[in-house]
Amino acid sequence: MQTFSVEKLFEKLERPPDTHKGQNGKVLVIGGSGKYTGAPALSARAALRSGADLVKIL
């Protein structure tokens, strides 16, 4: 087991500057309906905030 400081952890999470959309994670959200779109939208936003590059809602 390894121990990391918060600074070291964030260094490991940094993306190289030459990456493009889709290289750092893709997410497909399946849910909701024509009338109920809130939960899938919130899930998609959460995926983007957590580091996904590309999120699609089906």
* Tokens (6 digits) for 22: 């889709």
Condensed to tens digits (0 to 9), the pLDDT of residues 1-57 reads 778 788 887 777 788 888 887 788 899 999 999 999 999 999 999 999 988 999 999
The whole-number pLDDT of residue 39 equals: 96
CB atoms within 10 A of CB 47: 20
The whole-number pLDDT of residue 36 equals: 93
The whole-number pLDDT of residue 41 equals: 97
The whole-number pLDDT of residue 15 equals: 81
C-alpha 52/C-alpha 26 separation (Å) is: 6
